[in-house]
Structure 1
Amino acid sequence: YMLQNGLVLYDDINKCSIPGIERFKDIVDVGNVWNVTFVEQWSLSELTVELGTSCYAGVLMLQAMGLGGWMFNGIDPFAMLGASGKPEVPGLLFRYDEDERWPYPNPTGLAGVMEGYCPPHHQDMRAAVDALCDRKFGLGGPFHPETPGPWKDSRKVRSAAQNHDERFRECVALQAQYIYDTFGKFPGTVPSMFVIMYLQAHHLDLEFYDRFFKPGSYLKTHAMHIAHWHPGDSDQS
């Protein structure tokens, strides 16, 4: 995103440009920079908004299905992913690493399920960049012309995105590898994997609401959920 919009990283913590970035002055203005700390905080903020939005969309879906649920946070995000450091609190068993340079452990993914685009799940950041590009533009990816879509000409829409050529990938990988080498992880100043918002789903105890609440405390979809989704199982709650 940054490079496509004519920007490169600047290490504002160590007060230096990315070594070797001048080699790419033919494709980007290497003097047009964004600070690493700003980019990573902004990225984390954007992803946090997306997590909250997805949970909110999930709540609307629960109502349509006739399920109860609620959005919440307050759980230790590192312990949730598996970085509590306590065998009795395994969390989701994500791989994590620790380093004296970091204030907190750094989860990076769950092998074969959800792996971060960074080491140790990829050999280096160039391999991670290539893997991400394959995910975007390869078979089954959102920008592959053969991927089905809702448009009348899905092939045209899907293939309209700019594919990243070798020079572009090399420039991205150079900056990403610098971050990894300098800070020991990628991103350098925020967690590689992060979770903050959760959505719980459950069946409503309609008798409880009928006893303690006024009429209208739940929707028709809630009243009809068992009949619609679990026919023949009227005892389920």
Structure 2
Amino acid sequence: MTLDTDRTGESRLDIGAKLSGYSLMDALLWRRSRRFAPGMQISGGPLAYRSTAAPRPLTRDEEAALAFAACGITGHTLAEMPYRDGDRPGAGGGNIIAQLVGRTIASGDGIHSVSLFVINDEGVSLVRRPQDLDRTEIPDLIRLAHDRELSALYERVRVQVRDRRSDVPREVPFVPPFNQFSANVPGTTYFLPVAELTALMINLLLSAFEDDFAFYVLDERNRFQPAGLAKFARSRGGHLNDDLSSGRVVTAGFLDTWLCEFAAIEQGAMLQNLGLMTQALGLGGFPHFAAHPFAWYQELGFRMNDLRFSRTIGAGPLMASVMSLTGRNMPMPTAVGFEHDGEPLLRPYCPPYYRNMEEAVLAFVDFKYAPGRGTLRDGGASSSWNDGAAVQSDIPKASDRAIAATIAYLDYLHTRYGRVPADNGPFRSVLAYQAADLDEDFYNRFYVPDALSPTQRDRAAQ
């Protein structure tokens, strides 16, 4: 990693040797949330303190190392899955794998749902996911990662989308009272993971509606009626198991919750890696609340759709009218995409980028299975298999009836609730992570010496 300077022009040591020589065990032992940075102030209570130091932004190399830890492209996945039943009926389904590119964090089905926004005094950058890049770029990005050229890798995958620090209103409910002194203030670097849920949702449903699973879905918000799947019920001659005793009948709310939990695990892995890298660099950092349903998306410039509350709960015309007359039918801003300079950078599989959910589902099916270009049909050159083309040729495509059931279910959700997933729409954030220099004087005043690690003490002495 090359020598860099911080954004005030002061040279700092090359961090490559520091990272190569720092042990994982030390990172685990010393990982803590450490919040107080130069320029901050705690205004009241037993730790009241005003920093006398000026904010010190991170170097580009440090930012690049943190972004790599959060979501850097590292290689190709192994995808060692049973792609057909063989001599064990019902033991296939490996085609749930969606991509063959790996990052520093695990991702359900290789979907890579989570994008990363990086916010600092200079503006906002979006770190693109593997599916957001030209596939021919991937081998070179993997090489840069293995050569430890993290700054060069970072410049290749990030897009600057704002030239100023973005922030949400510094008040409840957007920022809790205890975070207002520290979160996203000058000098800090703020990492905001944002999950795009539609690709993961479609991929899960394509498997859930195959014969091996044959799940059936009821809508608990609509008197437990079939969620667009009535004609697919086994009791009506279809293939989905609608027998309540089978354990395969679930609710739409259950699926939405399951989906959000999958994505939250991916976000959590990002935060853990950021914490470990922060420790290795001798910085401070902490995860914190960033889950307001629309504030961050509005501030970052997402494409928004204002749905009436009555639509999001599936209210009928009469209830919607009553809600409007009583002033309770407020707009519910929903992020539906992210664009920059007219180019969609985060494009969910749903309207307005597709005419309807049928077109969106078929587009995702093409993403995986289109001959010559699908992630499971590109000839296998970008895979870890010795003979990728031969392996891919024997991976079955999603069945026509699983595709039809997926379309029917998602069309039902979008028609009734105006968005997919129905609970919150395509995007979801839970926590953010902030990295910054530490104010050593604050910790010396209030804490025992080992509150800061040797790495942080060494950095403070530079």
Give the TM-score normalised by the residue count of structure 1: 0.73
C-alpha distance in structure 1 between counterparts of 2:278 and 2:367, whole Å? 30
Q: Residues 41 and 190 of structure 1 are in contact (CA less than 8 Å); yes or no, is this contact kept in structure 2? A: no
Identical-residue share of aligned pairs (%): 22
Name the residue aligned to 2:286: 70
One-letter amino acid of the counterpart of residue 110, structure 1: F
One-letter amino acid of the counterpart of residue 278, structure 2: L
Q: Report the secondary structure of 1:99's partner residue.
A: strand
Once superposed, what is the RMSD of the aligned Cα atoms? Answer: 3.5
Once the two structures are overlaid, the 10-residue window that deviates more, 101-110 or 205-214, is 205-214
C-alpha distance in structure 2 between counterparts of 1:205 and 1:161, whole Å? 55
Structure number having the greater strand percentage:
2
Shift in CA distance, 217/105, structure 1 to aligned 2, threshold 3 Å: same
Pick one of 374, 377, 381 that aligns with 1:146. 381
C-alpha distance in structure 1 between counterparts of 2:415 and 2:459, whole Å? 53
Name the residue aligned to 1:29: 240
Q: Residues 22 and 30 of structure 1 are in contact (CA less than 8 Å); yes or no, is this contact kept in structure 2? A: no
Number of residue-to-residue matches in the alignment:
218
Give the drift of 1:50.
3.1
Shift in CA distance, 30/98, structure 1 to aligned 2, threshold 3 Å: farther
C-alpha distance in structure 1 between counterparts of 2:419 and 2:218, whole Å? 17
Pick one of 95, 100, 108 that aligns with 2:336. 108
What runs of 5+ residues in structure 2 fail to find an aligned partner?
1-203, 243-247, 313-329
Q: Residues 7 and 28 of structure 1 are in contact (CA less than 8 Å); yes or no, is this contact kept in structure 2? A: no
Give the drift of 1:129.
1.6
Give the drift of 1:18.
4.0
Give the drift of 1:80.
1.0
Give the drift of 1:37.
1.9
Q: Residues 233 and 241 of structure 2 are in contact (CA less than 8 Å); yes or no, is this contact kept in structure 1? A: yes
Q: Residues 140 and 147 of structure 1 are in contact (CA less than 8 Å); yes or no, is this contact kept in structure 2? A: no
Shift in CA distance, 181/30, structure 1 to aligned 2, threshold 3 Å: farther
Give the drift of 1:115.
2.1
C-alpha distance in structure 1 between counterparts of 2:270 and 2:334, whole Å? 24
C-alpha distance in structure 1 between counterparts of 2:266 and 2:232, whole Å? 35
Name the residue aligned to 1:155: 388
Name the residue aligned to 1:133: 365
Q: Residues 291 and 428 of structure 2 are in contact (CA less than 8 Å); yes or no, is this contact kept in structure 1? A: no
1:130-154: CA deviation from partner (whole Å, max 9, x where unpaired) = 33334445648488633234xx648
Shift in CA distance, 164/210, structure 1 to aligned 2, threshold 3 Å: same
Match runs of 1:4-43 below 5 Å: 4=210, 5-15=213-223, 16-19=225-228, 21-22=230-231, 28-31=239-242, 32-43=248-259
Give the drift of 1:199.
0.7
Shift in CA distance, 190/158, structure 1 to aligned 2, threshold 3 Å: farther
One-letter amino acid of the counterpart of residue 193, structure 1: F
C-alpha distance in structure 1 between counterparts of 2:365 and 2:460, whole Å? 44
Shift in CA distance, 61/208, structure 1 to aligned 2, threshold 3 Å: same
**Largest Rg, 1 or 2:** 2
Give the drift of 1:181.
1.0
What runs of 5+ residues in structure 1 fail to find an aligned partner?
83-90, 228-233
Name the residue aligned to 2:419: 185
Name the residue aligned to 2:433: 199
* 1:219 and 2:428 correspond: no
Q: Residues 179 and 186 of structure 1 are in contact (CA less than 8 Å); yes or no, is this contact kept in structure 2? A: yes
Shift in CA distance, 39/203, structure 1 to aligned 2, threshold 3 Å: same
